[in-house]
Structure 1
């Protein structure tokens, strides 16, 4: 931990890359690459399962500007070596153009490369593909799971359920959700000899690097991935999808740099999504609301060729509330769909809807206030492993939320509060998300002009990595943020983990802190050993750095600047590499939250409006309150979408997603959003990592949908157990 003055960390600093973004100077994946790029457009399958019997390309190839049409019949065979650095999902990743098998509607079956995007788009429509279609399976409810389920048990849940004075059984369903980030997935691929460079939309530059190295059978060091800006991702840019291999293959076959940008429609088939879930809960309690047992029967969709399972969906039921007897079974159901992916709050947000709705149902059944019910069942330690919590300020979140939201002013009776034609309801839910840490490295360079450059191969899909890392570095080096430049998004930089799971601040932030601390100490050592320095022979621990000036802590007048010291010693720069390796913890580490919501429901039409929402979060040390608010409010907007608007509609005859566009796949807009607020309880978690953070980006979403669902029940008296809650479901 640094003993430096903390001036930048905790300050509401505006995004250091904000001006680049609002002026259009930021270069996203489709903006990158060399001059002379040609354009690729993917042809998608029009059946949900079967085999390709013929690909007719003459009409496309005859069009002006068309350079190449690739498909399984003429594409070179690729090695597709095992990729140990991938997500390592059970099964086999999709192999582009390597065989005639169609696994899902929208699977890439050909690609057209042309000198212009218009020519490639037109020619792609002229490619005709014949199929031998087979029966398509895309309905979760009617399909059977495969393989052994994931299970967990403690105590004897069945016996406890049978002897409980109060027993409830509820079934919940969550629709498939798509990420719909502002920036579509895009790739520019260029070969120079045997070396491949990729300008790519990704949350983890190491992922496409490893994937393409494995697919083409080349060393990873021969693949460079560049991704300085990401226009939103929410999880589905955390792994490499087949289109990057298609772009690289097209570039190799044409000998030209190739740009491939997925259309908005193709994003629904070509990249991942939050899978649909069925979640059945049995709950036993005393008449006073103390939980004695819970069982969880969970089913989710996955593809037929890979098994995607979110183990986090089981975690909440194991540790959030005191529950002596727990039984969980989680089954994945293979369907003729593309492989799902992590989406903000993966697993935890799904289980939160079921568990927090069930807790709300129990509250009304027992007559115990929903907040008090949760306090009654607050555990003293993590029952899943017996470990103490590193920090757990969930009670404080409840208390702050009750006070700031005005919870105690509510009439607890459902359908009892009106405002003209509107039924008014309030609801709340708890939130939890695991605190993850991964190894990371960063290069720190202090130049003779008193400025610093910090580099790490992490990403910034929106939470503000550029800014938060600048703040940490600035304080550790004793510089103003304006004197620090942070660079990211390039495999040529020091290694960093995936930018997801709320682990970037803890992991990369800790290595930036370590590197900057080490560099500052190195420069101080140079000063105290320099007879020409005013700090000569001063004890190292007595020196601090502020505004680029080294001085004695209790004698600010005695010191000199970085610039003076380095110039005098003829040093152009000083450089170190910081690293962070998380140690095994003996505690249970999570971030927590309590979300409170007020809704209005039209009594005749069933229309739902969110009037206000408050989230109170225990996320450890807050590096940047302005960025934290951006994350929390953005998550509330996303939670409104999940609770009230977003869902995929599939034509089960062929697996086609009917609403694969932003006109029919509804997301919240400005008119849906009002009066959203976040509060962060004080307290760092030094058990978690050296900078005391616990992760924020996921936990702020987790409790939103159940809080809204519980508010809708309070308003209407109707319990919605399926998301999204539509007007039709309330009529």
Structure 2
């Protein structure tokens, strides 16, 4: 029976175990394989007679394919097939879809949408043939909308409304009314989308780069029109995902169709440009934020309105106001998101959807309010933390925001900040400091895991959960080692195989806490059996270094209590706790920037992040996740922006040469403070998600530091030098 999480687990089981590996900064067990180049990624598996496929993108923005001139291409050296099937995908699947997205590539929905696959003996032959393939279209691009039109926008969801906003704003002592824009983003994972498909009779095996195999298996089967029992996906190592690999996409379905037609394995690897042009983007946003506060700085009014876009027919809309709903007080409020149809590639989840772009605007608005009220930005936030979820009264499960702000401020040296802009100059550089809150919703997802304690005392953990670079192999192994009292080197974790029990998948920051809880449940069942064999209660059982003991009972080797391998499957799914208490993770950012008085260049000089997210399962992997999120925040603040051609909707900067992610020279020394806490409402292991928290609000802290440095308040992201330069104070002035 599935364990529905309805009551908080207050036993602190992992605080009473003795092995001492939980929370420790242990290395990733697969780390050496990755360093040595021995960890195979999706495109790297050797399959006999594997043919190579290259996708062909549409050269129109919207319309229909009327003819594909195959013959000339099929006559080229090495070419085996030109595939264009009604089962090929027009759009990738959204995360957790569990079913085929829109299919039939004969209808073109956006520029460079894949419309065919050319398969050849070699990649070079397939590439040459794909470039030569001639496709005729019924071009309907003239009917398409390439720029989001807010007049055509419709509500993405029901707005959140409470009190009398207009009256509260009219009566407020201090009002902030500001508009912000954020550019679109892409995930830009290091490993491009890739797949190898091979059939044995009616059974398909696909080696892919995917994040959520239980959903992906169903999506792939539905796309192909076969039973999921005939599909196996292998994805043990994933070179980054960040949301782009939550759902099945073009390469996987195309490879499977081609392999079935040719009767041999087919590999399809998307180029970097194809990934940018046809896989998920984060929507651009326009946001209006209105804050009203009394003379004491306490919020009485809060409005956050956002406008986003997506392809017609797509349900997903960037949940921009997600954190605003729970982060700050203000009994009179309006939260709404409007979505416009646009002929651009599909918008979907990119790391920390909602909070990543919503909070950077909210945190700048809060900084503006701090200046208006004369309060320190930390103090303003402290005064505006609600006792319960505004408008609903739901209590918070835990909230370490004040502790994060205090710890971060102390470590960073926030007391050295000059509150007035342009107070500090070093040569040609204005120097300033800024801060912001961090917050991200927490989710417990359905998950299963199988744990085996072998007759010789080894532990094997098995689940289809993936590791996208987040440390799943390490964390799940630590939970099992701690619970079963075995050294970590006696634990083997097997991931990324859809034939294994379905884990939560890597997405939404729910992976470690959800699948980790399933591992925990399986280990509890094993402990119960061992306790019975030892002759004690489960609560009294002590397992450490392969020994089992209890008060008043002679210690014995665990292997002596086993008659063979002992296997149990643990299950977890969200229950009433998700409704009884509001669950989120919290933190705070502090940063120092230098702004060049002559060029407008911004350099981040140092940054501190303090975070509270329940139990820390592995201090090293958690710190890495926080650092990664902070780097994403730097990109959002200063460099990253998708650029579309308004004439035809095509993506102009479709590679890492033109889409500017932060590089090593852009990243200063960064400090991460992990605040240990226990949140029994969140999961049986009292942990919450961490992966996306580090980006939520980070860009706002940088924007606030820029204002403190040079007095320029930019509300359009990214804050590139050309946007700063016209507003800078006279570099030769006093």
The normalised TM-score by structure 1 is 0.93
1:201 & 1:85 partners in 2: Cα distance?
A: 14
* Equivalent residue, structure 2, for 1:698: 692
Equivalent residues, number: 707
Q: For 1:24-68, what per-residue CA distance to the aligned partner results, in whole angstroms no more than 9, with x for missing partners?
A: 111111123632211110000122122333322333211111000
Q: For 1:676-723, what per-residue CA distance to the aligned partner results, in whole angstroms no more than 9, with x for missing partners?
A: 011022311112111111211111110211111111111111111111
Matched, 1:447 2:439: no
1:509 & 1:629 partners in 2: Cα distance?
A: 18
Correspondence list, 1:584-599, <5 A: 584-585=576-577, 586-599=580-593
Correspondence list, 1:41-60, <5 A: 41-60=54-73
Matched, 1:521 2:528: yes
Correspondence list, 1:164-313, <5 A: 164-311=172-319, 313=320
Matched, 1:639 2:633: yes
Q: Work out which of the residue numbers 711, 718, 722 in structure 2 matches 1:724.
A: 718
* Equivalent residue, structure 1, for 2:125: 119
Structure 2, unpaired ranges of 5+: 1-10, 726-734
1:189 & 1:481 partners in 2: Cα distance?
A: 35
Deviation at 1:147, TM superposition (A): 6.0
Matched, 1:107 2:99: no
Correspondence list, 1:29-108, <5 A: 29-32=42-45, 34-71=47-84, 75=85, 86-87=96-97, 93-97=101-105, 99=106, 101-108=107-114
2:204 & 2:151 partners in 1: Cα distance?
A: 42
Change in CA separation of 1:245 and 1:205 when aligned onto 2, cut-off 3 Å = same
Q: Is the 8 A contact 2:194 2:270 kept in 1?
A: yes
Q: Is the 8 A contact 2:189 2:242 kept in 1?
A: yes
Q: Is the 8 A contact 2:317 2:348 kept in 1?
A: no
* Equivalent residue, structure 2, for 1:578: 570
Change in CA separation of 1:539 and 1:343 when aligned onto 2, cut-off 3 Å = closer
1:498 & 1:442 partners in 2: Cα distance?
A: 12
Q: Work out which of the residue numbers 11, 23, 34 in structure 1 matches 2:36.
A: 23
Deviation at 1:520, TM superposition (A): 2.3
* Equivalent residue, structure 2, for 1:331: 338
1:422 & 1:540 partners in 2: Cα distance?
A: 63
Structure 1, unpaired ranges of 5+: 529-537
Q: Is the 8 A contact 1:96 1:242 kept in 2?
A: no
Q: Work out which of the residue numbers 509, 518, 522 in structure 2 matches 1:511.
A: 518
Deviation at 1:78, TM superposition (A): 8.1
Q: Work out which of the residue numbers 527, 536, 548 in structure 2 matches 1:550.
A: 548
* Equivalent residue, structure 2, for 1:689: 683
Matched, 1:651 2:664: no
* Equivalent residue, structure 1, for 2:499: 492
Matched, 1:13 2:26: yes
Change in CA separation of 1:717 and 1:205 when aligned onto 2, cut-off 3 Å = same
Change in CA separation of 1:541 and 1:147 when aligned onto 2, cut-off 3 Å = closer
Change in CA separation of 1:502 and 1:148 when aligned onto 2, cut-off 3 Å = closer
Q: Is the 8 A contact 2:181 2:717 kept in 1?
A: yes
Helix, strand or coil for the counterpart of 2:411? helix
Q: Is the 8 A contact 1:94 1:305 kept in 2?
A: no
Deviation at 1:212, TM superposition (A): 1.9
Q: Is the 8 A contact 1:225 1:490 kept in 2?
A: yes
Comparing 697-706 with 205-214, which one deviates more in the overlay? 205-214
Deviation at 1:523, TM superposition (A): 2.4
Q: Is the 8 A contact 1:281 1:297 kept in 2?
A: yes
Matched, 1:630 2:632: no
Matched, 1:412 2:419: yes
Deviation at 1:149, TM superposition (A): 4.9
Q: For 1:216-237, what per-residue CA distance to the aligned partner results, in whole angstroms no more than 9, with x for missing partners?
A: 2211111111110100111111
Q: Is the 8 A contact 1:59 1:123 kept in 2?
A: no
Q: Is the 8 A contact 1:43 1:124 kept in 2?
A: yes
* Equivalent residue, structure 1, for 2:557: 561
2:114 & 2:623 partners in 1: Cα distance?
A: 39
Deviation at 1:338, TM superposition (A): 2.1
Deviation at 1:77, TM superposition (A): 6.0
2:240 & 2:297 partners in 1: Cα distance?
A: 42
Helix, strand or coil for the counterpart of 1:639? helix
The normalised TM-score by structure 2 is 0.93
Deviation at 1:255, TM superposition (A): 1.3
Correspondence list, 1:669-688, <5 A: 669-688=663-682
Deviation at 1:213, TM superposition (A): 1.6
Matched, 1:381 2:388: yes
2:538 & 2:157 partners in 1: Cα distance?
A: 58
Q: For 1:180-217, what per-residue CA distance to the aligned partner results, in whole angstroms no more than 9, with x for missing partners?
A: 11100111111211111111111111222111221222
Change in CA separation of 1:516 and 1:149 when aligned onto 2, cut-off 3 Å = closer
